[in-house]
């Protein structure tokens, strides 16, 4: 179906599904490496990242490339530990790379949001279930987080490093950067935090006393992925763990801030900054009043609304910077997740998020992230997870028809 040249008079291109499909298919094909995954960006990010590849699985499936979807999903579990811990990076192309940093071969010593639960569920729903050993690995990965990862007294899971959240330089971590946020200063802090991770008996990461933070976004994604996987495999332990974590998240809602607030020592400070990942609680929260607050913010051009997709930071926050890394641009994976979250409460809002995010992704050249107003590409260009725009375009067109 061909569509018009602009979106709502904002001057952003509105690609047809066919044009987008061709561009995304070409990008993933060019990024594929023989070890069995699509590098996010062959020049900037040559390794396999956990949540990137989990999103790639969805895109391969949308491209009717089930073989590539299955291979990439299986590859993320290559460096999985006996505990179930899944590293956020897989160095399959050079197993000794960064061994001095992480203290282990093959993969990193931290994880990332476990989007493989959703990936497995989507493959099952598409009639292309993964092999039993891959499903078992996914179950073990989520059980590790739910049953072995340390918790805050709120009941929320603690992360061991800001990198585990995927939101590296989020304003929610600013209290951990002494002297105020500065990208160079924060890079030094992040390097230091690698050395203070506490591990379990087999060396899997369980806590970090220098970063005792329980972020809303990470917890919401663990609960969501556990629920998704439990739904398709019938695992009561995952279902119960997801429900328990969702209950803990409910207690983190702030009517005053209009968002879920992180648990831990930053709860009264930077942990309540209004960010898009802070709204991911909507994935597992069914309260209609909270949903109404969140959806209103996503549509408000003075809050998270934008012609090129939802801003990563609320425009009313002093830290908002539309072009700065994790300080305000559109991130396609978060936009996709907010579409899933809002569709349960307001299909109209979900459809609008699809439309604006697709326009921004196309204008950016399928960039890693982009300016929420102009769609100007930022970071690595192109970046494979922006192929998620193909799934959003399908939803966009379904809403139109």
Omega of the bond leading into 238 within 30 degrees of 0 (cis): no
Q: What is the pLDDT of residue 329?
A: 98
Q: What is the pLDDT of residue 216?
A: 98
Q: What is the pLDDT of residue 356?
A: 97
CA 269 to chain centre: 23
Q: pLDDT tens across 142-167, in order?
A: 999 999 999 999 999 999 999 999 99
DSSP states along 229-272: HHHHH--HHHHHHHHHHHHHHHTTEETTTTEE--BSTTTTTGGG
| Rounded Cα–Cα distance for residues 307 and 294 (Å) | 18
By the 8 A CB rule, do 129 and 186 touch?
Answer: no
Helices (H) and strands (E) in the chain, counts: 14, 10
- Taking the CA atoms of 385, 171, 213 and 101 in sequence, report the sign of the dihedral they define: positive
Q: pLDDT tens across 67-90, in order?
A: 999 999 999 999 999 999 999 999
- Quick one: CATH architecture of 77-271? Alpha/alpha barrel (1.50)
By the 8 A CB rule, do 83 and 204 touch?
Answer: yes
pTM of full prediction above 0.95: yes
Per-residue model confidence as pLDDT tens for the chain (401 residues): 334 444 545 789 889 999 999 999 999 999 999 999 999 999 999 999 999 999 999 999 999 999 999 999 999 999 999 999 999 999 999 999 999 999 998 999 999 999 999 999 999 999 999 999 999 999 999 999 999 999 999 999 999 999 999 999 999 999 999 999 999 999 999 999 999 999 999 899 999 999 999 999 999 999 999 999 999 999 999 999 999 999 999 999 999 999 999 999 999 999 999 999 999 999 999 999 999 999 999 999 999 999 999 999 999 999 999 999 999 999 999 999 999 999 999 999 999 999 999 999 999 999 999 999 999 999 999 999 999 999 999 999 998 77
| Rounded Cα–Cα distance for residues 147 and 13 (Å) | 46
The single-letter DSSP state of residue 189 is H
Q: pLDDT tens across 244-288, in order?
A: 999 999 999 999 999 999 999 999 999 999 999 999 999 999 999
Q: What is the pLDDT of residue 9?
A: 52
| Rounded Cα–Cα distance for residues 36 and 189 (Å) | 33
By the 8 A CB rule, do 31 and 41 touch?
Answer: yes
Q: What does the domain layout of the chain look like in residue ranges?
A: 77-271
Distance (Å) of CA 224 to CA 119, 199, 221, 238, 242: 12, 25, 5, 10, 7
Distance (Å) of CA 172 to CA 153, 159, 277, 371, 399: 19, 13, 10, 20, 34
Q: Cα-Cα-Cα-Cα dihedral of 183, 187, 193, 194, to 10°?
A: 150
């Amino acid at each position: 179906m061909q569509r018009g040249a602009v979106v709502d008079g904002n001057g952003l291109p509105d690609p047809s599904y066919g044009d987008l499909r061709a561009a995304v298919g070409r990008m993933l094909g060019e990024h594929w490496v023989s070890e069995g995954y699509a590098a996010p960006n062959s020049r900037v990010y040559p390794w396999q990242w956990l949540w990137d590849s989990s999103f790639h699985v969805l895109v391969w499936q949308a491209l009717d490339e089930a073989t590539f979807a299955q291979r990439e999903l299986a590859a993320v579990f290559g460096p999985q530990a006996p505990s179930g811990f899944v590293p956020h990076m897989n160095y399959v192309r050079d197993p000794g790379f960064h061994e001095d940093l992480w203290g282990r071969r093959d993969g990193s010593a931290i994880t990332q949001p476990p989007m493989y639960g959703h990936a497995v569920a989507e493959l099952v729903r598409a009639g292309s279930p993964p092999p039993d050993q891959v499903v078992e690995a996914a179950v073990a990965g989520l059980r590790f987080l739910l049953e072995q990862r340390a918790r805050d007294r709120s009941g929320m899971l603690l992360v061991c490093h800001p990198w585990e959240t995927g939101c590296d330089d989020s304003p929610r971590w600013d209290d951990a950067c002494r002297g105020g946020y500065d990208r160079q200063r924060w890079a030094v802090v992040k390097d230091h935090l690698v050395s203070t991770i506490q591990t379990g008996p087999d060396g899997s990461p369980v806590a970090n006393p220098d970063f005792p933070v329980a972020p809303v976004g990470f917890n919401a994604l663990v609960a969501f992925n556990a629920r998704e996987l439990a739904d398709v495999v019938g695992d009561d332990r995952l279902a119960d763990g997801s429900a328990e974590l969702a209950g803990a998240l409910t207690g983190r809602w702030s009517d005053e801030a209009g968002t879920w607030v992180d648990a831990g020592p930053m709860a009264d400070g930077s942990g309540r900054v209004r960010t898009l990942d802070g709204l991911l609680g909507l994935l597992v929260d069914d309260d209609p009043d909270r949903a109404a607050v969140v959806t209103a913010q996503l549509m408000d051009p003075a809050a998270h609304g934008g012609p090129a997709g939802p801003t990563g930071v609320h425009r009313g926050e002093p830290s908002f910077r539309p072009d700065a890394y994790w300080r305000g641009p559109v991130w396609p994976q978060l936009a996709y997740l907010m579409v899933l979250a809002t569709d349960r409460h307001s299909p109209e809002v979900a459809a609008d998020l699809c439309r604006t995010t697709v326009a921004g992704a196309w204008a950016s050249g399928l960039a890693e992230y982009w300016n929420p107003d102009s769609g100007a590409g930022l970071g690595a260009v192109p970046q494979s997870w922006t192929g998620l725009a193909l799934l959003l375009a399908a939803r966009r067109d379904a809403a139109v028809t």
